[in-house]
Structure 1
């Protein structure tokens, strides 16, 4: 394989958290089952490093891969979701009407500084890429908003929320010869196809 590769992996399905519990839920039973599929799904990649958001749903998703590879997981706070530090995790079903409108128009909820979020994520990813060897693959366990922010920056999309990202979906970024990043694939979910709620409707 020529060139450095970044695997951006969304966390598995978390529980909802109640107000006051913090926006940091753990994985649900379904989420644990999804995460257990990742070691096999990622086996074909020569992973040299594992990096995670500090949030529990991301760290728990990384753990089966870390165990399978006998590696530790480095934590980078800049790869946290835009809700990091909020009082509780709000599932999309419970978002306010104004925030739903913002999300549907491709923007983050109104209380989030979108530019600062994009800059934070970009700086974190830049450092991961800079620390990687020429031909290394790094797996980053993170969040839907973070993955969208990266695809948005690399592809210069009009909207920040520009791609569908499922639980444990794998998005591949490659370092180009010029040193920038290119998007190779978005939201690979073959490994959890039968475990994704939206696929149960067919």
Structure 2
């Protein structure tokens, strides 16, 4: 079977969520897409058109669900929410896009770009959650199926780390709405066919817009 992983489109920035909930717990940031993000998401159905998609799954986070929506509507499929596809930042009250973190939170940015998950995150638990979820998705698929999963850069990276036997969890830059394809053989062999395909959104990526 084929698992196609699509990173979410460009999300809005959230400086801090509203007042804590009734238990005094900070509310997690869950940003929607920017106008450019909506455009990026609208291009995903086209790049997936050559594939016979049997199922669409998504992280529960809004930026992933909204990225999945145009594809699901085009295919006439429901979006199955998989909680385990959520990003490692899911409980944080602030969301700063990585391109902004480069300027404003340089220490965190440098750690991520060096290939490591932020220190306040339980990286082992995150990795286990993602791998268990992906294993369940692939186990439920027929060997001829193509499943599209809308997720996050960290989620895609830790799966690639496992498939390719890499040392660092965040090895690859994964662009907004980029496509990464992993093939699963009946014998259990996994192959990373492509990583970070982005030509369909190149002109809408932050670096493309600056050029």
State the match for 1:16 in structure 2: 13
Change in CA separation of 1:53 and 1:104 when aligned onto 2, cut-off 3 Å: same
3-state DSSP class of the match of 1:24?
coil
Moved more, 176-185 or 104-113: 176-185
1:153 matched to 2:159? The reply is no
3-state DSSP class of the match of 1:13?
coil
State the match for 1:171 in structure 2: 180
Matches for 1:2-81 after TM superposition, within 5 Å: 4-21=1-18, 22-81=28-87
TM-score scaled by structure 2? 0.90
In structure 2, distance between residues paired with 1:100 and 1:30 = 23
In structure 2, distance between residues paired with 1:151 and 1:69 = 27
RMSD (Å), alpha carbons: 1.4
In the TM superposition, residue 194 of structure 1 has moved relative to its aligned partner by 1.4
Q: Which runs of 5+ in 1 are unaligned?
A: none
Runs of 4+ that moved beyond 4 A:
none
> Is 2:87–2:155's contact at 8 Å kept on the other side of the alignment?
yes
1:45-89 Cα shifts (integer Å, max 9, x gaps): 010000000000000000001111111000011000000121121
In the TM superposition, residue 90 of structure 1 has moved relative to its aligned partner by 2.5
Q: Which runs of 5+ in 2 are unaligned?
A: 19-27
> Is 1:23–1:90's contact at 8 Å kept on the other side of the alignment?
no
Moved more, 189-198 or 5-14: 189-198
3-state DSSP class of the match of 2:74?
helix
In structure 2, distance between residues paired with 1:39 and 1:100 = 31
